[in-house]
Structure 1
Amino acid sequence: MKTRHSRSFSLPVYLLLAIGSVSIFSCSSVRKTSTSAAKTTQSGPRFLDDIRVNPGDRISSRNKSYGYTEKVPEDKEPAEEPGANLTLNEATLVRKYADILGVDDKKVNNIDLIEEIDDWYGTPYRYGGSSKNGIDCSAFSRTLFNDVFNAAIPRTAQEQYDYCDHIKKSQLKQGDLVFFHTTGGGRITHVGVYLQNGKFVHASTSSGVMISDLDDYYWRRVYRAAGRLPKAELTKN
């Protein structure tokens, strides 16, 4: 009897243990599932404005406040540096004349002018001449204005003086004319084309086509006036 009672009592115990094990396993599964879900929710990088992006998700560019670079409008793009498109020969010529004029390379900005000067540089002086074999001062200034500035001016130095609007020496700009009376009288006998920094190019009787300085003692002593092409002529060209 004792043995039969023990067997009948052990069966409910096994059932209770089995039910308890199932309950424990079920709670563990639920806990793991909820923990896994929490981890999934927090996965992926977190950006500004509390935006989360998980692998495979897409986000509108309107919500991206990171890594944005505004495109500069075309009319506000940085200005191109002067001389950026020069050929090697042009750049070399710019450096050469910047050194002669004593100015920064960026201030030598009329390539046609310095090319024309360089082409004529050293041409001997010849009174009444107008070619590479020999040229006088007024023929040279006339040639320079015709080839570079597309402007026609009279032939002689005196006629060029009479044709120009007279300006002060302090108002001189590149392309203006400078006049001299080298014989000691009042008549204009010499002319040159002003460049910059006090320098002018001309056909001198001693050295031919060259660049001189208005502040040199001789040129300062014989200087007479400065002239600029009439506004109508400048407008036309």
Structure 2
Amino acid sequence: MKTKSALPILLFFATFLAIFFGQSTISADSIKPIQGIQATANHTDTLSSISIPEKIQAIKSDSKANVADTSDKKATKNYSDLINLARKQLGKDYVWGAVGPDTFDCSGLTQYLFANAYNKTLPRTAAAQYAAFDHVSHDDVQPGDLVFFSYNGGASIDHVGIVVSGDNQMIDAQDRGVLKESYMASYWKPYIAGYAHVMDLK
């Protein structure tokens, strides 16, 4: 008895469920593309349109820019800058304590040349310049080095000239003015106190 009365109820629920699910079926055509997926697809298409050589070229261009920005921009220190400036001073008058540009004393001339050729500051006096730099032997002297003289056996440094290319030549400021002469001449050689290397020049 109980089994017969339950059957219609089961059939009713089965029919109801069939109708409900049949009406709620989702059509595949009604699903809209998800925007995030569509954007990704477009982005992929854009990337694929750029060829590998173009990407590599872009990287190379960026690399060149970076190298240019970080390159060493320091000017090369050429001996010619010094000697050309020194030659322009030849014939100018000697005045004790003068530092140029129209008149010089000995250390005023060497100070002026390095300051204006290389923006390098030398001490003001010959004695201070002698003490400021590494000393070199006569055999190792190079153009651009300083040659120093003492009139009292080395007790003081009394004169300075700048070594220039040629056979033991220097340019110095002395009583006869600024001139080029040999520091190994008989009137200079006995008084040589030493040589100093100021900077490397090419």
1:201-212 matches, cutoff 5 A: 201-205=171-175, 207-212=176-181
Partner residue, 1:174: 143
Partner residue, 1:161: 130
Distance 1:118 1:234 in 2: 20
1:97-116 matches, cutoff 5 A: 110-116=79-85
**Which one scores higher on RCO, CA 8 angstroms, separation ≥ 6?**
2
Partner residue, 1:90: none
Partner residue, 2:68: none
Give me the TM-score of the superposition, normalised by structure 2. 0.56
- 1:164–1:110 CA distance, 2 compared to 1 (3 A): closer
Q: Which letter maps to 2:131?
A: D
Q: Using the TM superposition, give the Cα deviation of residue 115 of structure 1 relative to its aligned residue in structure 2, in angstroms.
A: 2.5
Q: Which letter maps to 1:113?
A: L
Query: Sequence identity, in percent?
Result: 31
Q: Using the TM superposition, give the Cα deviation of residue 141 of structure 1 relative to its aligned residue in structure 2, in angstroms.
A: 0.2
- Number of matched residues? 123
Distance 1:193 1:221 in 2: 17
In the alignment, structure 1 segments of 5+ residues that lack a partner are 1-108
Q: Secondary structure at the match of 1:178?
A: strand
Q: Which letter maps to 1:198?
A: N
Distance 1:111 1:168 in 2: 23
Q: Using the TM superposition, give the Cα deviation of residue 128 of structure 1 relative to its aligned residue in structure 2, in angstroms.
A: 0.5
Which deviates the most, 119-128 or 183-192? Answer: 183-192
Distance 1:142 1:151 in 2: 8
Give me the TM-score of the superposition, normalised by structure 1. 0.48
Aligned residue among 101, 113, 116 for 1:147: 116
- 1:110–1:162 CA distance, 2 compared to 1 (3 A): closer
Deviations 1:158-180 (Å, cap 9, x if unpaired)?
A: 00000010110110001111000
Deviations 1:119-142 (Å, cap 9, x if unpaired)?
A: 211111111012244210001000
Q: Secondary structure at the match of 1:211?
A: strand
8 A contact 2:100–2:112 mirrored in 1: no
Q: Using the TM superposition, give the Cα deviation of residue 198 of structure 1 relative to its aligned residue in structure 2, in angstroms.
A: 0.7
CA RMSD of aligned residues (A): 2.1
Deviations 1:52-86 (Å, cap 9, x if unpaired)?
A: xxxxxxxxxxxxxxxxxxxxxxxxxxxxxxxxxxx
1:205-220 matches, cutoff 5 A: 205=175, 207-220=176-189
8 A contact 2:146–2:196 mirrored in 1: yes
Distance 2:110 2:152 in 1: 20
- 1:133–1:184 CA distance, 2 compared to 1 (3 A): farther
Partner residue, 1:200: 170
Q: Secondary structure at the match of 2:94?
A: coil
Q: Secondary structure at the match of 1:217?
A: coil
- 1:203–1:188 CA distance, 2 compared to 1 (3 A): same
Q: Secondary structure at the match of 1:218?
A: coil
